[in-house]
Amino acid sequence: METLIPNRLSTLGHPQRLALFRLLMRRYPDRVPATELAQALGLKPNTLSTYVNALMQAGLIRQERVGTSLRYAIDMGAARETLDYLLHDCCRGRPEICAPNVYSAPVGDRPMTDRKYNVLFICTGNSARSIFAESILRDLAGDRFVTYSAGTRPRSELNPFALEVLEQKGHDVSVLRSKNISEFQGADAPNFDFVFTVCNQAANEECPSWPGQPISAHWGLPDPVKVEGSDSEKSLAFHQTYGALRNRMIAFSALPLASLDRLSLQKAVDEIGQSTDEGSSI
């Protein structure tokens, strides 16, 4: 341990290795393909290989081969071990300094019956997936959640196939529009209890930390906008995406939020994001 932790800290002292580590932290518990990591960080494959090898040797990330693809994920045990080591001497005799209250307290500061929880769904274009999520949760559990969506690079118009699916499912599309994430980062923005990314590209991007430390998770799904073929094939892709998101909203809205501590809640929303959504073309 005496040499392991300094080696990990030294490894993370390199800006681009740190950027890779932070990206994988944002995507945890996803196993991210090497090609996607290289594209997100603007790295050549051989340069990425050098960085991931250094992080693997330090025990901070794990590698897995899926078919012909190499995928990488944070070793959360090692990450926690490193942080615990840093806090140990700091807190010796002064536990109030470093007590992780944010991890042991229930989400929010008031009982569920007293207020609604603010939820933000983020994707790149804010034209389909995040709009689906906003609409579904609003209509499914609008008595308990106030829902919003935004894009890191929003399109000027909502996708017509997405609007068609929402109208067929009985959602009010008149309240929907593409919004830039900057609308929710000012002084007058809502304080969010939950922030979810629903596309890999948005999750890979650097975003400012949110005030109040909301619970966050990555619920990435393939982009139906990129599906090629006939209109019926495109429509099917949007219906499948809608169904997958609806399954996740049902699972999320069923969580006993007021009684879960933060760690349990984080684990629960991560597990929802890892669901396979088989047979979800509702």
Output the six-digit token pair for 256: 């006993």
Measure the CA–CA gap between 7 and 190, rounded to whole angstroms. 41
pLDDT at residue 205 above 90? no
**Confidence band (pLDDT; 50, 70, 90) for 91?**
low
Q: Which of 83-92, 127-136, 230-239 has the lowest mean pLDDT?
A: 83-92
| Section 147-156 average pLDDT | 92
pLDDT at 276: 58
Predicted pLDDT at 144? 94
Q: What average pLDDT does this structure show over 34-47?
A: 92
More confident residue, 110 or 41: 41
In this predicted structure, which of 17-21, 133-137, 193-197, 261-265 has the lowest mean pLDDT? Answer: 261-265
The sheet with strand 215-218 has its strands ordered as: 145-151, 117-123, 194-197, 215-218
pLDDT at residue 251 in the model: 96
Between 5 and 108, whose confidence is greater? Answer: 5
- In which band, very low, low, confident or very high, does the pLDDT at 44 lie, cut at 50, 70 and 90? very high
pLDDT digits (tens, 9 = 90+) for 64-74: 998 888 999 99
In terms of DSSP bridges, do strands 194-197 and 117-123 run parallel, antiparallel, or are they unpaired?
Answer: parallel
Average pLDDT of the segment spanning 91-102: 56
* Lowest mean pLDDT across 53-62, 107-116, 158-167, 205-214: 107-116
Q: Where are the domains of the chain?
A: 4-76, 104-273
Residue 275: what pLDDT? 75
214: helix, strand or coil: coil
Model confidence pLDDT, tens digit, residues 5-18 = 889 999 999 999 99
Q: What mean pLDDT, rounded, does the chain reach?
A: 86
What CATH class does 4-76 carry? mainly alpha
Residue 213: per-residue pLDDT: 81
- Whole-prediction pTM value? 0.74
Class of domain 104-273: alpha beta
Tokens read off for 114? 């007293």
In DSSP notation, 111-177 reads: -GGG-PEEEEEEESS-SSHHHHHHHHHHHHHTTTEEEEEEESS--SS--HHHHHHHHHTT--GGG--
Task: Specify the pLDDT at position 278.
Answer: 47
**Looking at residue 281, what is its pLDDT?**
43
Phi, psi (rounded to 5 degrees) for 105:
-80, 150
pLDDT tens-digit series, residues 213-260:
899 999 989 999 999 999 999 999 999 999 999 999 999 999 999 888
